[in-house]
Structure 1
């Protein structure tokens, strides 16, 4: 991972840490947002200008139209996945990309749709969706960045709003909220008012995005710009190409995979021929050494992770190679120093400074997890 990518990931982590996961995707605000849009239209001097061209859609109108489109997409694809680890990963990568996109000022929101289809969508104002079926095929952050970068490019290039400008949103697109809850029906009524007052057919726009899709040149532009955005942020340049190639290899089903996109082979051909990034390694379970020896569990760079079995009291140790982390596993362990002792309850750990003498005192058969430089030996 490049230093720039580390910095960006840290920045995204700080952004996410500032707000709980539930606040990162607050759909409850959409109802208020639609009300606010309606009020804005009611007081506008010339609301019809919105329907005349994309230049007439200001930031507030774009955001609220995007909210209405997002509601319809969520309804069509069965809601969103709420697992915290999934939300965190998608937002960590997505927010890092969005921060350095051409429109970092948007209220960017990223979510995984609870659908096994293989696709991704975006809505004006900063909404980016990836289906669970596609998310599970993104085997590294590099491939995920390629996918999200493509959708971010649709938004920064205002592709959906250009559909409105050209008046190509098919009229009569059926709302998916009609047969939902009473709150959804209320939202639907508000969406219909927006349709009438702004001259924007939300249902038709959703249909154009998720059923008809953007035309081929637009998709190729999003591939190109999305790849460049990922590269600029330190992700491997071959991420998007790799996921497309993987999907092509496993068999392209136009009914479930990128059904609104150009053929995978053409998209791959138009991207630079770059090597696929390595897949993220899957963690494997490790077992403690049953023989009671100082078994090596794993290696972390120059450090070694060991399970150390105690026998009442060990010999005194002093290591000049580096610090040693000791964690009690199944029973309390006492770490004695010349200056005094520290008692570790199961799960607690202590960091022993370089050149500090210590020994372990614990009932025979107790276990200690030790992380230390490879040259450090335990009796």
Structure 2
């Protein structure tokens, strides 16, 4: 009898203890935040706690699936993928070279060129990275393109959009008793990817991750700094790419502090003539 009770307790402990602790912690966090003037019921608090647990434990597979749905929405309604297989293959090749050296190499990555003369690049969830023809036209060499792709991979590795999605989804209440409303998550994710800037902390984090990634992949690290400086000097206003990337001057200084001047230009991708013949001729 004692053995049976002991076995039951061990099974119960493993199955329910940690979720129960997570729920209690989530509710405690909610209770620690100053409440609005109107009363919030304990049922609402428990429900919000469940949402936090659900959204904080998105698996890689779930994130990739949401990213796929976001990609379908973006490419069918928001912008057009540039119809040049050679150019898309070039960008994808550069991106895939970076992936094994990134902080999150174990998910599939998709790199796509967007037909847009504006200088821009962004990442969504689950390995989807977008770069515009305008940015490719502005870049001087492959290493500068790799620096942008590395930065966007850094956002994915840091799960920055996932964190934003979690915050907004909890505010809007997209979960229900059956689980997370995935279609709502996709809609919020698209909205965030297009319109909401990353935090200063997220940008610094993506910069540092991107610098490590491109250097590890064999690209010259100086290209990340030179492209940011090019963006700042070459525009009378703030480029779209920087409008959602705050404190660019400080970011450049932070990057320079991480790069050894004696090895800054050591690596691949700095040949401008090769880049022009391979890429700019296709734009």
TM bracket, shorter-chain basis: 0.5 to 0.7
Give the structure 2 partner of residue 268 of structure 1: 252
Q: Indicate if the aligned counterparts of 1:171 and 1:204 stay in contact, CA closer than 8 A.
A: no
With over 3 angstroms needed to count, the CA separation of the structure-2 counterparts of 1:168 and 1:251, relative to structure 1, is farther
**Is the radius of gyration larger for structure 1 or structure 2?**
1
With over 3 angstroms needed to count, the CA separation of the structure-2 counterparts of 1:235 and 1:195, relative to structure 1, is farther
Q: Indicate if the aligned counterparts of 1:69 and 1:205 stay in contact, CA closer than 8 A.
A: yes
Give the structure 2 partner of residue 144 of structure 1: 145
Secondary structure of 1:121's partner? strand
Give the structure 2 partner of residue 86 of structure 1: 87
Give the structure 2 partner of residue 237 of structure 1: 221
With over 3 angstroms needed to count, the CA separation of the structure-2 counterparts of 1:198 and 1:50, relative to structure 1, is farther
Give the structure 1 partner of residue 191 of structure 2: 207
Q: CA deviation at 1:95?
A: 0.3
Q: Indicate if the aligned counterparts of 1:108 and 1:126 stay in contact, CA closer than 8 A.
A: yes
Secondary structure of 1:281's partner? helix
Give the structure 2 partner of residue 303 of structure 1: none
Q: Indicate if the aligned counterparts of 1:137 and 1:243 stay in contact, CA closer than 8 A.
A: no
Q: Does 1:281 align with 2:281?
A: no
Greater share of strand residues, 1 or 2? 1
Which runs of no fewer than 5 residues in structure 2 stay unpaired? 1-48, 278-283
Q: Indicate if the aligned counterparts of 1:77 and 1:113 stay in contact, CA closer than 8 A.
A: no
Higher RCO, 1 vs 2 (CA within 8 Å, ≥6 residues apart): 2
Aligned length: 218
Give the structure 2 partner of residue 155 of structure 1: 156
Q: Indicate if the aligned counterparts of 2:140 and 2:275 stay in contact, CA closer than 8 A.
A: no
Q: CA deviation at 1:99?
A: 2.3
Q: CA deviation at 1:267?
A: 2.3
Q: CA deviation at 1:160?
A: 1.0
Q: CA deviation at 1:226?
A: 0.2
Q: CA deviation at 1:170?
A: 8.0
For residues 9-158 of structure 1, the aligned pairs below 5 Å read 52-75=53-76, 77-158=78-159
Give the structure 1 partner of residue 22 of structure 2: none
Give deviations 1:303-322, integer Å, cap 9, x for gaps.
Answer: xxxxxxxxxxxxxxxxxxxx
Q: Indicate if the aligned counterparts of 2:67 and 2:127 stay in contact, CA closer than 8 A.
A: yes
Give the structure 2 partner of residue 32 of structure 1: none
Give the 4+ runs in structure 1 shifted more than 6 A: none
Q: CA deviation at 1:282?
A: 5.0
Q: Indicate if the aligned counterparts of 2:146 and 2:219 stay in contact, CA closer than 8 A.
A: yes
Q: Indicate if the aligned counterparts of 1:224 and 1:271 stay in contact, CA closer than 8 A.
A: yes
Q: Does 1:249 align with 2:233?
A: yes
Provide TM-score, normalisation by structure 1.
0.51
With over 3 angstroms needed to count, the CA separation of the structure-2 counterparts of 1:132 and 1:76, relative to structure 1, is farther
With over 3 angstroms needed to count, the CA separation of the structure-2 counterparts of 1:73 and 1:238, relative to structure 1, is farther
Q: 1:87, 1:247 → 2: CA distance?
A: 23
Secondary structure of 2:243's partner? coil
Q: Indicate if the aligned counterparts of 2:119 and 2:135 stay in contact, CA closer than 8 A.
A: yes
Q: CA deviation at 1:75?
A: 4.3
Q: 1:78, 1:128 → 2: CA distance?
A: 14
Q: CA deviation at 1:60?
A: 2.1
Which runs of no fewer than 5 residues in structure 1 stay unpaired? 1-47, 173-193, 286-379
With over 3 angstroms needed to count, the CA separation of the structure-2 counterparts of 1:85 and 1:113, relative to structure 1, is same
Q: CA deviation at 1:208?
A: 2.1
Q: Indicate if the aligned counterparts of 2:54 and 2:180 stay in contact, CA closer than 8 A.
A: no
Q: Indicate if the aligned counterparts of 1:77 and 1:115 stay in contact, CA closer than 8 A.
A: no
Q: 1:148, 1:164 → 2: CA distance?
A: 22
Q: Indicate if the aligned counterparts of 1:159 and 1:218 stay in contact, CA closer than 8 A.
A: yes
Q: 1:241, 1:169 → 2: CA distance?
A: 37
Q: 1:282, 1:82 → 2: CA distance?
A: 22
